[in-house]
Amino acid sequence: MTFTVSESPWVTLRKGDPSFQLQGDFTVANRAGILITPDCPRNLAAAIQHALAKGYIECVAAVPKNDPTYMWETLRKDK
C-alpha cells in the first residue's frame, strides 16, 4: 500500500497568534470574529457570549500559507 502525503496549503490562526490581527496605518482588525445579529434570540445570544467568555467557542481563521498579508505580518512579527 502506498500513501502520498502532502503539506496543507492552509494555516489556522487563533486569537493571540502573531498574524491573527491585520495592521493598517491607524487600525488593527482581527481576521475572524463572531457576529451575533439583532435577530438572534436573547437566550441564544447569552449562551454564545458565555461560551466565548469561557473559551468553549474560539475565533479562528484559515488562510492560505501564501497569502501576502499572512506572510508580511509573519515577517514583521519576527523582527
- What are the pLDDT tens digits along the chain (79 aa)? 888 888 888 888 888 887 888 888 889 888 888 899 999 999 999 999 999 999 999 989 888 888 887 776 666 665 5
For residue 13, give the H/E element and its range: strand 10-14
Cα separation values, 2 from 5, 6, 16, Å: 10, 13, 39
pLDDT of residue 67: 82
CB atoms within 10 A of CB 15: 14
Query: Which residue in the block uniquely carries the three cell numbers 501564501?
Result: 66
- Residue 60 CA to residue 45 CA, distance in Å, equals 19
